[in-house]
Amino acid sequence: MTAVVETKDLSKTYGNVVALDAFTHTFEQSRIHALMGKNGSGKSTLVKMLSGVVQPTTGSMSLNGQNAVFKSPRDAFEANVVTVHQELSLVPELSVAENIFLGRLPKRTIFGIDRIDWKSAFRKTGDLLDRMGLDIDPATQIKTLSVGQQQTIEIAKAMSFDPALLLLDEPTSALASKEVEMLFTLLRTLKERGVTMMYISHRLSELAEIADTVTVLRDGHHIASVEMAQSSSQEIVGMMFGDVARAIRPARTARTGSGDPILQVRNLTREHAFDDISFDLHPGEVLGIAGMLGAGRTELLRGIFGADPVDSGEIIVDGQKVEAPSPRTTTGLGLGYTPENRKEVGLVQDHSIHNNLSMASLRKNAPGGFITKSAERPGVEKQIEQLHIKVDGSDDPVSSLSGGNQQKVVIGNWLNTDPKIMFFDEPSRGVDVHAKQQIFQIIWEQADKGLSSIFVSTELEELLDVCDRILIMKDGRLEGELDPAKTDLTQLYAACMEGL
Amino acid sequence: MQLAQFFRRHPMEIILVAMYLYLMAAAPGFATLDNQFNVLRNVTMQGIIAFGMTMIIISGEIDLSIGSGVAFAGCVTAWFTRELTPFTGAYTAIAIGAVAAMVIMFCVGVFTGKLRQHFNMPTFITTLGLLTVLSGAANLITGGFPITSFPYQFNFLGSGFLFGIPFPVYIFVAVFGFVYFLMNYTSFGRSIYAVGGNLEAARLSGIDVWRTKTLAFGITGVFTAIAGILIASQILSGSASAARGWELDVISAVIIGGTSLFGGKGSIRGTLIGVLFLGVIVNGMTLLNVSEYWQYVVRGMLIISAVLLNHALEKSAKT
């Protein structure tokens, strides 16, 4: 079965925000169509409408010339549109066959009682895997398979629905390169059998290999659709970002190289996370780490901070080697870390703003273990004032604050420890534009006061705006260094994807 | 308006006072000084442990072993008294026995904490196991019969009066004051809240989360031993069957006091109210000639209602 997908003036708005604006295009059948765009470009919205998760505000879609109105994922399903999501949805304890036919195992009736027809389930699964060219026993437990094999099972499951259109959302983000090859072989087989596919990915080099066409979206607008073979990666990245107006950096002198490094990382390695990482951080410097999802940026920060154990390598703070780093020892040495998922691990949501602002400085404020609220109050009030945290009272629960203000509480909690080195992991995630600017302002102000920081963000524009120096990380390794003053977004993006 | 706010903040206190007033009018003999001391004496032993249990529950853990722990500690004290009295005299023997009981129970608490830390062993399981282990150990020490080795003067600790007030009440107040201070004026107390509220956030903030939890268990172990010694004094023997089922009464008191079983939320003051609440209601029902079986039903319903009430008030406070 196969499908031509046509969209006409397809739009989706959320309140005042236009997620996708009058998208008109025809996706030809039996081809692999890449969808590209940075975060918020509208590509996920498009896929969500095709899979029935959200409904178009205006405009229409059609499959094989028939108008397609999907009120729910089930409707899309019945029109043979199947989605493979980024996260795996398999049950690890069950077999391959049970997973593929989850909730719809073949039954047969004996003496009026329905029972599962295991023979037929295994035979059907075996046939399906054979047709896809996969050599996996249908009785294998999912948890014994590699992540790559699991991903192919996920696609086999999708294939068991006999899709006309297969939507793939970053299917390779968790895969090693060998597994990616296996997946691509599979996708090519499916293409030969006539399946139309849409493929979302950030990995340009992979798309060049697998996709036939590429459709680029930016800020909800359809920029272009071109044949993959006739376009260079340079052109595609250019279309993704357009001419971006850069934020104006405050007049501050970059501190790169001034004085002895305050933090030295030497050959730091943690298996399956990062490999042989060495770099220096200088006093007053804002050092960025850029990389794609899964490059190992967060893992590296957590490793240096001692939140996760490392396998080998050295961490030297102020000329002193850190033995067996743990958050307790590294905070004692003047390190601080604002985690990327502040809601889950950055704050105690039920507790007061006061307590959240004085959590990391507990040791500092409690000589001999004794503490009073009044001893902590100056620090709490100082952060509320200096970081412009909007609060009614510091005894209110921190959960009553907006995302941006919560993030400032996380930062304030650390600034109260008078840190020498701060790690900011995605500090702008989930905060509004205004709060974002304020947070950058805080980072700059602290840098002028001598604080050294490492800044990790998925938003590459932010790295260019905020940092004095940017390290490029790819697949767990440091690829090199860029000077943000001499780098534009396209170059940075290309460096993250393809290395230097 | 202000009254509504007051009720919202202190629901259990108000219900306790209302119940108190009702019992003063309805239950014959409730308001006498003797009976008031009775109530106090009856709640002290469980109350002492409840203060420790509050720390454990706020830190996000649980201890189910304390019933057997109380019996075990009493038996240890009685055993030392019996074995050492010929050599050291009774008082020194009791003192050594009491200290030994406290040290052993502290170590049992630390053991629970260490299993949690190094083997990620749920404390529900460890302490459920210990409930049986300690009960067995108590029986091993006593050989199945109560050890009646104490001189009658020892009875003073559990049943005596000092300046007209039952002696255990002084210990109860001292333990309350101690834990209140710990929870509100030390970094340890603050760490307990943080660890129970969000373990990973606390760890990333440089708090020694395992030392905090382990210490809470150790301290509670000592309180359990103290309760065990007081009980042994009251019944003038070390009995392996003393304090059976106390763990549920103690946890009930903590929960009625508004502490969340999920950790991170609660207060020592609340537990004090919970302990008094249970004591008053049991005493009142007895005086009103309510059958013992009904008393169980009422106490059970009370726990459920208290939690429901707390949830409802919390919800309405948010909107």
Q: Select from B190, B197, B203 the Cβ nearest to the Cβ of A350.
A: B197
Cβ within 8 Å, pair B197-A372: no
Cβ neighbours, 10 Å, residue A220? 22
Q: With residue A316 as reference, give the H or E element that holds it.
A: strand A312-317
Domain A5-246 is in which class?
A: alpha beta
Mean pLDDT confidence for A90-114 = 84
Band the pLDDT of B312: cuts 50, 70, 90: confident
With a cut of 80, say whether residue A254 has pLDDT above it. Answer: no
Task: Report how far residue B41's alpha carbon sits from residue B158's, in angstroms, rounded to the nearest whole number.
Answer: 8
- For all residues of chain B together, what is the average pLDDT? 90
pLDDT at A90 over 60: yes
Residues of chain B with C-beta less than 8 angstroms from the C-beta of A413: 205
Residue B1 confidence (pLDDT): 57
Q: Which of A335, A351, A396, A416 to mutate to test the interface with B (most CBs of B within 10 A)?
A: A351
Question: Looking up tokens 């002696």, which residue turns up?
Answer: B167
Looking at chain A, the whole-number percentage of residues with pLDDT higher than 70 is: 95
CB contact under 8 A, A307 and B190: no
Q: Do A345 and B264 touch (CB under 8 A)?
A: no
Q: What residues of B are in contact with residue A353 (Cβ under 8 Å)? A: none
What distances in angstroms separate CA A407 from CA A309, A427, A438, A448, B297, one per listed residue? 26, 7, 11, 21, 48
Which of A357, A310, A496, A337 shows the shortest CA–CA distance to A423?
A337
CA–CA separation, A280 and A288 (whole Å)? 12
Look at A398-402, A489-493, A496-500, B51-55 and tell me which has the smallest mean pLDDT. Answer: A496-500
pLDDT at B136 over 90: yes
Q: Which residue has the higher pLDDT, A436 or A96?
A: A96
**The three-state (H, E, C) secondary structure of B111-170, written as one string:** HHHHHHHHHCCCHHHHHHHHHHHHHHHHHHHHCCCCECCCCHHHHHHHHCEECCEEHHHH
8 A C-beta contact, residue A130 and residue A154: no
Please give the pLDDT value at position A427: 87
Please check whether residue A348 touches B, CB under 8 A.
yes
CA distances from B71 to B101, B131, B217, B226, B236 (A): 11, 10, 17, 11, 13
Residues of A with Cβ-Cβ distance to B203 under 8 angstroms: 307, 327
- Please give the average per-residue pLDDT across B43-66, as a whole number: 95
pLDDT tens, A457-469? 888 888 888 888 9
Looking at residue A392, the DSSP 8-state letter turns out to be: S
Q: In terms of DSSP bridges, do strands A66-68 and A58-63 run parallel, antiparallel, or are they unpaired?
A: antiparallel
With a pLDDT cut of 90, the percent of chain A lying above it is 14
* A450 min Cα distance to partner chain B (Å): 22
Per-residue pLDDT averaged across B109-132, rounded? Answer: 94
Mean predicted confidence (pLDDT) in A187-214 = 85
β-strand A452-456 against A286-290: which pairing, if any? Answer: parallel
Q: Which of B204, B311, B314, B318 should be substituted to probe chain A, the one whose Cβ sees the most A Cβ atoms within 10 Å?
A: B204
- Range with the poorest average pLDDT among A159-163, A190-194, B315-319: B315-319
Q: Is residue A339 less than 8 Å (CB to CB) from chain B?
A: yes
* B82: Cβ contacts below 8 Å, ≥ 6 apart: B93, B147, B149
Q: Is B190 helix (H, G, I), strand (E, B) or coil?
A: helix
Give the pLDDT score at A121: 87
- Neighbouring C-alpha atoms within 13 Å toward the C-beta of A367: 1
pLDDT single digits (tens) A168-177: 888 776 666 6
Tell which residue, B310, B247, B251, B291, has the closest CA to residue B275. Answer: B251
- Residue A17 or A177, more confident: A17
pLDDT of B115: 94
Size of interface A-B (CB pairs under 8 A): 78
Per-residue pLDDT at B7: 75
In this prediction, residue A356 carries a pLDDT of 92
- The reply to whether A263-498 shares the fold of A5-246 is yes
One-letter amino acid identity for B75? C
- ipTM exceeds 0.85: no
Among A349, A358, A359, most B C-beta atoms within 10 A, so best to mutate, is A359
pLDDT at B54: 96
Question: A-chain residues within 8 Å CB-CB of B205?
Answer: 327, 331, 359-360, 362, 413
pLDDT of residue A253: 57
- Closest to A371 (Cβ–Cβ): which among B190, B202, B264? B190
pLDDT in tens, A278-303: 999 988 889 999 987 778 888 999 99
Measured CA to CA, the distance from residue A288 to residue A298 in angstroms comes to 12
Q: What are the C-alpha distances in Å from A476 to residues A25, A271, B307?
A: 38, 9, 49
Domain boundaries, chain B: 35-318
Percentage above 90 pLDDT, chain B: 55
Query: Could you tell me if A145 and A176 are in contact, meaning their C-beta atoms sit under 8 angstroms apart?
Result: no
Give A245 or B71, the one with higher predicted confidence.
B71
Average pLDDT of the residues in B180-188: 93
Q: What is the pLDDT of residues A301-310, one digit of tens each?
A: 999 999 999 9
* Res. A53: pLDDT tops 60: yes
Query: What pLDDT score was predicted for residue B38?
Result: 86
pLDDT at A190: 84
In angstroms, the CA A198 to CA A205 distance is: 16
Please report, for residues A3, B18, B288, B294, the alpha-carbon distance to residue B31 in angstroms, rounded to integers and kept in the order given.
Answer: 85, 14, 13, 23
Per residue in B190-219, pLDDT (tens digit) is 999 999 999 999 999 989 999 999 999 999
How is residue B55 written in tokens? 């720390």
CA–CA separation, A424 vs A446, rounded Å?
Answer: 12
Note if the pTM is more than 0.90: no
Please state the rounded mean pLDDT for residues A38-52: 84
A244 reaches B (C-beta below 8 A)? no
CB contact under 8 A, B206 and A344: no
What is the reported pLDDT for B170?
93
In 3D, which of A407, A424, A485 has the Cα closest to residue A459?
A424
User: Between chains, do B204 and A362 touch, taking CB under 8 Å as contact?
Assistant: no
pLDDT for B229 equals: 94
SS3 A248: coil
Give the whole-angstrom CA distance, residue A343 versus residue A339. 9
CA distance A496 to B4: 59
How high is the pLDDT of residue A354?
92
Residue A54: DSSP 8-state: S
In the predicted model, is pLDDT for residue B179 greater than 70?
Answer: yes
Query: At a CB cut-off of 8 Å and minimum separation 6, what does B77 contact?
Result: B94, B97, B98, B100, B101, B228, B229, B232, B238
Residue of A nearest to B186 (CA): A370
Tens-digit pLDDT profile for residues A320-376? 888 888 999 999 899 999 998 888 888 998 899 999 999 988 888 888 888 888 888
Instruction: Give the number of C-alpha atoms closer than 13 A to the C-alpha of residue A268, restricted to the C-beta side.
Output: 32
pLDDT per position as a tens digit, A372-423: 888 888 889 988 988 888 888 888 888 888 778 888 899 999 999 999 999 9
At residue A150 the predicted structure's pLDDT band, cuts being 50, 70 and 90, is confident
Question: Are B67 and B244 in contact, with CB atoms under 8 Å apart?
Answer: yes
User: What gap in Å lies between CA B68 and CA A248, rounded to an integer?
Assistant: 69
The single-letter DSSP state of residue A252 is -
The CATH fold of domain A263-498: Rossmann fold (3.40.50)
Q: Which of A249, A293, A244 is nearest to A488 (CA)?
A: A244
Query: A328 CB near a chain B CB, below 8 Å?
Result: yes
Architecture of domain B35-318: Orthogonal Bundle (1.10)
Confirm if A350 and A327 have CB atoms less than 8 A apart: no
Q: Is B143 on the interface with A (CB under 8 A)?
A: no
Mean pLDDT of A65-87: 85
Q: Where along chain A do its domains lie?
A: 5-246, 263-498
